[in-house]
Amino acid sequence: MTAAPATPVPTTAALALGDDALVLSHRLGEWAGHAPVLEEEVALANIALDLLGQARVLLSMVGDEDELAYLREERSFRNLQLVEQPNGDFAHTIARQLYFSTYQHLLYTELAAGDGQFAGLAAKAVKEVAYHRDHAEQWTLRLGDGTDASRERMQRATAALWRFTGEMFQPVEGLDVDLSALEAAWLEAVGGVLRRATLTVPEGPRSGAWTAGAGRQGVHTESFGRMLAEMQHLHRSHPGASW
Amino acid sequence: MTNTDWPLWEVFVRSRRGLAHTHAGSLHAPDAEFALRNARDLYTRRGEGVSIWVVPSAAITASSPDEKDPFFEPAADKPYRHPTFYEIPEGVKHL
Amino acid sequence: MATAAAHQTYGAEEAGAGTAAYERAFDAAVAADERIEPRDWMPDAYRATLVRQMAQHAHSEIIGMQPEANWITRAPSLRRKAILMAKVQDEAGHGLYLYSAAETLGTSREELLDKLHAGRQKYSSIFNYPTLTWADVGAIGWLVDGAAITNQVPLCRCSYGPYARAMVRICKEESFHQRQGYELLLALSRGTPEQHAMAQDAVDRWWWPSLMMFGPPDDESAHSAQSMTWKIKRHSNDELRQRFVDICVPQAESLGLALPDPDLKWNEERQHYDFGPIDWSEFKEVLKGNGPCNEQRLTQRRRAHEEGAWVREAAAAYAAKHNDTTGAMQA
């Protein structure tokens, strides 16, 4: 896909970014045929396709995209726990989108501005991600400031996923960005959207000892194994086959 | 209209710079912002556009078929509005 | 009088005493291959036929997402996964184009969806068959989309303008659907023995239902003759079915897969392939609701709609609060 760069691509970082995109794309793909309105079928699929495209570029930087996606065990995946969380209702999906796309937008903006291995990819992806972020913000506003029922659902969703957001700012080996410095901007941006959506900014802890280093170290949540089982089953059933 | 029935919008897409927006189709959206975004996702996902207009369908005033004759026929018998009406001697250029 | 809303249409009542003149003008326009546009006068039966057909077509697109979406999460390579997602997304888009075309005749999408959910409007029976293996995704692309394209290309010249325009867009986008299906099957056919068997099994199961997609034989087709006069339809069911068979036979040979019909052979005299009898009793059973997936497909559709109600309400409530439903916007 991409020409081999002069200096080796940092594997851990490529896997972290690639797995985030791959796993979130998969989750969004689960919405196909289930979205709340037809227009949203199209929108969610667009986002999923953008992410899948990013994942394929990133994984191909450090190996064969299909081997990496289909033949790694759960503990070898480096994605955030946030992106593997089940879709839940539409509010949970939007909260997950808001948290992740805001993070990804800040991160890719930094990467695109630099001259590292990921600058090229980030420059293209940052435009896609800006749209994902806008989509999530627009929906957060409508669900938060819509009906009483929607506000309650959105409040519950933002609170439930809050504890997965601390992990985003842990350092990633080989990623030439000061992630902890992005945290303030993220908190301000997300807090601003939530407040405009008449929602309370969650107050719980944003990471905990139980996460044991979490997704970036290959520790995932229970539903992730089941997701991988489904994703990898067919590919693994026919070793060596081409598709 | 029920609570959940989003209004209809007409979508106009400029396919590239230098061309006018042309009608691409319609869609449903709760408000203008979403109408624009839905239009982007639906009508330009293969790179068909560089600019989009959305207009609530209800805001369009259309000529009615009943008025077709008084509206459009009077224009049909004025051939002198068209350059082909005029005869120019052969060999005359830049006209 | 100029009337607000481009889509508001004229029925016979408004036309009043001039009905006969309107009807003559309508017939002349259709005969001259002109397009009928939303605000033109049209016979009630023409309007009803179009709404029924466009609705059924739109419903087919969105129900048709289900059998293929069934494999998105299990697609065996990332390339195939991207292709399949894009294809299922296109189907949602096509449903949208078609609902919009139907709405030009004054029937709202909400109304049409209610009828679908209540089982009062149909969708293509083909989607009541299950996708049991990955190869089914290929068979749907090659055969089902192939049959659909054969049916749809003539609709690009349908007498009703908005329907014809929607079909032009749809046919352009559909051509990738059929090719990806063919390519998918080719990879399986040339793959391992297990993959080849998977592909053959899928073709065996989808071939006959695909032939049924063209509808009952001409002498039993309820709406055909009138639709042909109105140029909603341009070719008969049997004519299109024959065209499809003729196209598929050499394609199957190139695939290295057999079509499951012992009677299939070239007829030199007719210059067409002869094919065996279609089991119309199966077609009727599936149409009646007794296919393998009728219940499942409608249940999922209803559930998605019901579970999405709070989302649609929220967006409508937000728009009402922020008073943002009028006024053009530009990007």
Q: What local confidence, expressed as pLDDT, does residue A127 receive?
A: 96
A6 occurs within a structural domain:
no
Question: Comparing C227 with C128, which gets the higher pLDDT?
Answer: C128
Question: For residue C241, what are its two tokens?
Answer: 């079915």
At residue C74 the predicted structure's pLDDT band, cuts being 50, 70 and 90, is very high
Q: What is the mean pLDDT of chain C?
A: 90
Give the separation between CA C198 and CA C41, rounded to whole angstroms. Answer: 53
Query: Which of A37, A46, A138 is nearest residue B41 as measured by Cβ atoms?
Result: A46
Least confident segment among A223-232, C8-17, C222-231: C8-17
A2 occurs within a structural domain:
no
Residue-wise pLDDT for A130-189, tens only, equals 999 999 999 999 999 999 999 999 999 999 999 999 999 999 999 989 998 999 999 999
Is C211 a residue whose pLDDT tops 80?
Answer: yes
C92 touches chain A (CB under 8 A): yes
Give the separation between CA B60 and CA C4, rounded to whole angstroms. Answer: 6
Taking residue C119's Cβ as centre, other Cβ atoms within 10 Å add up to 11
Name the residue with tokens 């036979």.
C249
At residue B93 the predicted structure's pLDDT band, cuts being 50, 70 and 90, is confident
Taking residue A107's Cβ as centre, other Cβ atoms within 10 Å add up to 25
DSSP chain B: --TT-PPEEEEEEE-STTS--EEEEEEE-SSHHHHHHHHHHHHSTTS--SEEEEEEGGG-EE--GGGHHHHHGGGGG-GGGSGGGS---TT----
Which residues in chain C are closer than 8 Å to A40, comparing Cβ atoms? Answer: 308, 311
At residue B4 the predicted structure's pLDDT band, cuts being 50, 70 and 90, is low
A140 occurs within a structural domain:
yes
Mutate to test the interface with C, among A19, A28, A34, A87 (most CBs of C within 10 A): A34
pTM of the predicted protein model: 0.91
How near does any CA of chain A get to the CA of C281, in Å?
A: 30
C-alpha neighbours within 13 Å on the C-beta side of residue B21: 16
Q: What is the CATH number of the domain that holds A212?
A: 1.20.1260.10
At residue C4 the predicted structure's pLDDT band, cuts being 50, 70 and 90, is very low
Decide if C329 contacts B33 (C-beta within 8 A). Answer: yes
Name the residue with tokens 């739109």.
C58
Identify residue A164 by its one-letter amino acid code: F
A128 occurs within a structural domain:
yes
Residues in chain A predicted with pLDDT less than 50, given as ranges, are none
What value does the mean pLDDT take over residues C135-164?
94
Q: Do A36 and C62 touch (CB under 8 A)?
A: no
Q: What local confidence, expressed as pLDDT, does residue A7 receive?
A: 73
Is C330 a residue whose pLDDT tops 60?
Answer: no
Is C264 a residue whose pLDDT tops 70?
Answer: yes
Task: Provide the domain limits for residue A166.
Answer: 11-237
Q: Considering its fold, how many domains does chain A have in total?
A: 1
Is C9 a residue whose pLDDT tops 60?
Answer: no
A63 touches chain C (CB under 8 A): no
A133 occurs within a structural domain:
yes
Query: Looking at the DSSP assignment, which residues form a beta bridge with residue B23?
Result: B12
At residue C231 the predicted structure's pLDDT band, cuts being 50, 70 and 90, is confident
B48 touches chain A (CB under 8 A): no
Is C218 a residue whose pLDDT tops 90?
Answer: no
At residue B79 the predicted structure's pLDDT band, cuts being 50, 70 and 90, is confident
Q: What local confidence, expressed as pLDDT, does residue A159 receive?
A: 95
Which chains does C contact via 3+ CB–CB distances below 8 A? A, B
Least confident segment among B55-64, C84-93, C289-298: B55-64
- φ, ψ for residue C87 (rounded to 5)? -70, -45
A230 occurs within a structural domain:
yes
In this structure, the dihedral spanned by the alpha carbons of residues C271, C276, C282 and C284, taken in order and rounded to 10 degrees, is 40
A150 touches chain B (CB under 8 A): no
Is C329 a residue whose pLDDT tops 60?
Answer: no
At residue C229 the predicted structure's pLDDT band, cuts being 50, 70 and 90, is confident
At residue B69 the predicted structure's pLDDT band, cuts being 50, 70 and 90, is confident
Identify the three-state secondary structure at position A238. Answer: coil
Query: Which of C66, C89, C321 is nearest residue A42 as measured by Cβ atoms?
Result: C89
Residue-wise pLDDT for C98-126, tens only, equals 999 999 998 999 999 999 999 999 999 99
Q: Burial of A188 by CB count in 10 Å (0-12 exposed, 13-18 middle, 19+ buried)?
A: exposed
Q: What local confidence, expressed as pLDDT, does residue B91 receive?
A: 87
Q: What local confidence, expressed as pLDDT, does residue B82 receive?
A: 84
Residue-wise pLDDT for C50-63, tens only, equals 999 999 999 999 99
